[in-house]
Amino acid sequence: MISSINKFNPFPTIAGYNLVDELKNFIVSDTCIITMKDIWELYNHRFPKNIDVYFVHTLEEIELDKEIEKFNNYKMVIGFGGGQALDIAKYFSWKCNLSLFQFPTSISVDAVFGHRSGIRRGGNVNYIGWAIPESVFIDYEIIQSAPSIFNYSGIGDVLCFYTGVLDWQFANKKNKCEQKWKYNSELAAESLKYVDDLLDNIEHVKTMNERGIDTIVRAHQWGGNSFYSSGWNPRHIEGIEHFFFYNLEFLTNKKFIHGQPVCLGFILGCLLHNKLEDKFLDFFKSLDFNFTPDAMNINWNDVDNALSTLKNYIEKNNLWYGIGNEFEYSSSLLDQLRDTVHSLNKI
Ligand SMILES: [Zn+2]
């Protein structure tokens, strides 16, 4: 048990089947569904007819704010889709004080379990807002219908606890922990339990059965909500693996399936900390989740650029202290990363 006054209390989450079909029993007439076009084509027949729909087309705050007047006319919003639809549903719920229900259609990222929306200001991501859904609905059938790459992507937001904790321990050893985020072994241990749980459930994750989905969702509840419930402390949930991803996104300006660059950053973090244990290699080998640059439509030069500028990026953006602040970039590090990732994907 965490011996702090702060209590981890994730958003109400209900898993089951045919959950969308229940909407007609509690939806109010002034409701808007926030989704993406391709997802809506697949599922609109399951929603009440004539319902208003908003397709996410921008994450830019300045553009979103032009829609506020329209959303002020609603009472309820329902996020239905991936990270972007859920984030924008949170945004309008916060801005216009609307009740919020969330239906993720895959478990690619932990966004649905956090209070803030990742909106862009001039292309740069900012996490702002405060939205608490009445409920997050995990419909097993809908999640299982998503292409497996999206659901496997969800492991990134679990494995990051491991490299996040390694970075926190590293900073602690060097006496470089931020004043407001002193090392807390209870928080760190709690995070690592979710990583162990993920590895223990590999067979269920592989087939994405109910238990596999539950395993990832439980970890995402922790990742999304314990940032807040530990006093907006991110140290036990992310570190170098996300920093690497942010820099890669910044340099390439490409859209990623979240877990791919995060898992690449995870391997990088493990290598730098000298903690790439066999249990992780075995885990990746048994999962058909490809996170080579090829699979992300980038190349090793992009990865090289993200590596050689990583320290600078971390310092410039004032990110929390870890191995990324101290490692020496070298071409042999890139070779090591490439060999490891290729061996996992049997290339
Ligand atoms: Zn993430």
Mean pLDDT of 107-132: 92
Is 213 in contact with 140 (CB distance < 8 Å)? yes
Q: How far is the CA of 338 from the centre of ligand 1 (A)?
A: 22
Residue 99 dihedral angles phi and psi, to the nearest 5°: -70, 150
pLDDT for the residue numbered 1: 53
Q: What is the pLDDT of residue 43?
A: 96
Contacting residues for 347 by C-beta, under 8 A, at least 6 apart? 292
Report CA(156)–ligand 1 centroid distance (Å). Answer: 7
DSSP per-residue string spanning 166-228: HHHHHHHHTT---GGG---HHHHHHHHHHHHHHHHTHHHHHHT-HHHHHHHHHHHHHHHHHHH
The pLDDT tens digits of the residues spanning 4-60 come to 788 999 999 999 999 999 998 999 989 999 999 999 999 999 998 889 999 999 999
What does R_g of the chain's alpha carbons equal in angstroms?
Answer: 20
Distance between Cα 72 and ligand 1 center (Å): 30
116 contacts: CB under 8 Å, gap ≥ 6: 90, 127, 128, 129, 130, 131
Alpha-carbon gap, residue 63 to 68, rounded angstroms: 10
Q: How far is the CA of 242 from the centre of ligand 1 (A)?
A: 7
Look at residue 64 and tell me whether its pLDDT is greater than 90: yes
Residue 324 has pLDDT above 70, yes or no: yes
Share of the chain above pLDDT 90, in %: 92
**109 alpha carbon to ligand 1 midpoint, in Å?**
6
* Beta strand 52-55 pairing with 76-81: unpaired
Q: What is the pTM of this model?
A: 0.96
What's the number of CA atoms in the CB half-sphere (13 Å) around residue 346? 7
8-state DSSP, 347: -
pLDDT at 123: 74
Q: Are 122 and 226 in contact (CB under 8 A)?
A: no
If you average pLDDT over residues 257-282, what whole number do you get? 97
User: Is the predicted pLDDT of residue 277 greater than 90, yes or no?
Assistant: yes
Q: Give SS3 for 34.
A: strand
Q: How confident is the model at residue 346 (pLDDT cuts 50, 70, 90)?
A: low
* Residue 44 CA to ligand 1 centre (angstroms): 29
Please give the average per-residue pLDDT across 238-265, as a whole number: 95
Q: Single out the residue of 336, 342, 274, 344 nearest to residue 307, CA to CA.
A: 336
**Cα dihedral across residues 22, 117, 161, 109: positive or negative:** positive
What architecture (CATH level 2) is domain 13-146?
Answer: 3-Layer(aba) Sandwich (3.40)
Distance 65 CA to ligand 1 centre (A): 25
pLDDT higher than 90, residue 2: no
Q: How far is the CA of 174 from the centre of ligand 1 (A)?
A: 26
d(CA 183, CA 167): 10
Residues making up the chain, counted from first to last: 347
Q: What pLDDT score does 255 carry?
A: 87
CA of 209 to the centre of ligand 1 (A): 22
Q: Are strands 99-104 and 135-139 parallel, antiparallel or unpaired?
A: parallel
Residue with tokens 């292309």: 123
Strands 76-81 and 31-35: parallel
Ligand 1 center–CA 108 separation, angstroms: 9
Sequence spans of domains, the chain = 13-146, 149-344
CATH superfamily of domain region 149-344: Dehydroquinate synthase-like - alpha domain (1.20.1090.10)
Distance 172 CA to ligand 1 centre (A): 23
Distance 76 CA to ligand 1 centre (A): 27
* Distance from Cα 96 to the centre of ligand 1, integer Å: 26
Among 75, 141, 153, which residue's Cα sits nearest to residue 111?
153
pLDDT band at residue 193 under the 50/70/90 scheme: very high
Compute the distance from residue 160 Cα to the ligand 1 centre, in Å.
8
Average pLDDT over the chain reads: 95
Cα 157 to ligand 1 centroid, rounded to whole Å? 5
